[in-house]
Amino acid sequence: MRLEGQRAVVTGAAGALGRVIAETLAAEGADVAGLDLDAVGLDATGELVRAQGRGWTSAAVDLTDFDAVQEAVGKIVAEWGGVDVLLNGAGGGAVSPFHEMTYATWTTQMDRNLNSVFNVTRAVLPSMLDQRHGRIINIASIAAVSGGRLVRNATAYATAKAGVIGLTKALAIEVAAQGVTVNVLAPGAQATPGRDRDTPERREALLAQIPTRLLGEPAHLAETVVFLASPAAVNVTGVVLPLDGGHSI
Ligand SMILES: NC(=O)c1ccc[n+]([C@@H]2O[C@H](COP(=O)([O-])OP(=O)(O)OC[C@H]3O[C@@H](n4cnc5c(N)ncnc54)[C@H](O)[C@@H]3O)[C@@H](O)[C@H]2O)c1
């Protein structure tokens, strides 16, 4: 077990990737706290974490609400006495041609994909600095590094996720000497349930753009999170890691 005794906060833990990540972190020995809007989905993830014999706690909270996040995370930190791993996975895109985009769509995307990362990281970081140990792993997107290669008309999402990359690099430098690493994944298309809506033609067109001809497997993404959280990654920080089969090359 690479994460024996670690305490991990996972945002978006009710979602497709967050659930697999939470279960995988638990399988490696970590207790997990899940944060998400979806209380029912959190319970389902909690069952998977508990089935690994690890502790589970959760909060159904809107991560765009700064005060609510400080309160929810404050309770977790008080209960555990600290947090070792933060996985910022909550988010999601919206498409709109730029010339028709409303201000509400723009700001909602910033709130959901970027400001939420600020809110949770701001709440967790003081305990990591106090203990001089922490691993922050963010999930951005191929959209942030290659524009519309995966999803067209996603400028707001791409901009917000590019912000997550900027936050990652700047924070990595700021906290490196205090034992905290900060890295970001940039996944391409993952084999999550959302892709089941693809027509065969759409799937074929997508795979034709990906050099490996493979969708990303959530289990492989979760293994990458485990590596970045593990002792082996102590000297890895500020990295933007594409998980996209070469799609963004
Ligand atoms: N699935 C992919 O192919 C893919 C590719 C690249 C990047 N990503 C990114 O990976 C992350 C996870 O994706 P997923 O496929 O698991 O998506 P998902 O929709 O299954 O899960 C996202 C979760 O985030 C939660 N969430 C969204 N806004 C929230 C808010 N304001 N407060 C609290 N919770 C909120 C949702 O409730 C949901 O459970 C997202 O950030 C997404 O942008 C996914």
DSSP state of 8: E
- The arithmetic mean of pLDDT across residues 159-166, rounded, is 98
User: Residue 147: what pLDDT?
Assistant: 87
Determine whether 202 is exposed, middle or buried from the number of CB atoms within 10 Å of its CB (0-12, 13-18, 19+). exposed
Share of the chain above pLDDT 90, in %: 97
The residues carrying an active-site annotation are 157
The reply to whether ligand 1 has any atom less than 6 angstroms from the CB of 245 is no
C-alpha–C-alpha distance, residues 129 and 199, integer Å: 48
Cα 28–chain centre separation: 18
C-alpha–C-alpha distance, residues 151 and 73, integer Å: 33
Residue 187 Cα: closest atom of ligand 1: 6
The reply to whether ligand 1 has any atom less than 6 angstroms from the CB of 168 is no
Among candidates 182, 165, 169, 163, which has minimal Cα distance to 124? Answer: 182
User: Residue 151: what pLDDT?
Assistant: 85
Residue with tokens 């990652």: 168
- The arithmetic mean of pLDDT across residues 186-206, rounded, is 95
pLDDT of 163 strictly over 90:
yes
Ligand 1 centroid from CA 7, angstroms: 21
User: Residue 124: what pLDDT?
Assistant: 98
User: Residue 31: what pLDDT?
Assistant: 98
pLDDT-based confidence at 150, cuts 50/70/90? confident
Query: What is the CATH code of the structural domain delimited by 7-235?
Result: 3.40.50.720
Length of the chain in terms of residues written: 249
User: Residue 148: what pLDDT?
Assistant: 79
Ligand 1 centroid from CA 51, angstroms: 23
Q: Which of 139, 145, 203 to mutate to test the pocket of ligand 1 (most atoms within 8 A of CB)?
A: 139
pLDDT of 149 strictly over 90:
no
User: Residue 144: what pLDDT?
Assistant: 96
- What mean pLDDT is reported for the chain? 97
The tens digit of pLDDT for each residue in 84-116 reads 999 999 999 999 999 999 999 999 999 999 999
Cα 64–chain centre separation: 15
Token code pair at residue 198: 């693809």
User: Residue 73: what pLDDT?
Assistant: 98
Ligand 1 centroid from CA 47, angstroms: 20
User: Residue 57: what pLDDT?
Assistant: 98
Q: Are 8 and 84 within 8 A, CB to CB?
A: yes
The ranges assigned to domains in the chain are: 7-235
Cβ within 8 Å of residue 111, ≥6 positions away: 64
The tens digit of pLDDT for each residue in 58-74 reads 999 999 999 999 999 99
pLDDT of 19 strictly over 90:
yes
Backbone angles phi, psi at 32, to 5 degrees: -130, 135
Residue with tokens 């028709």: 100
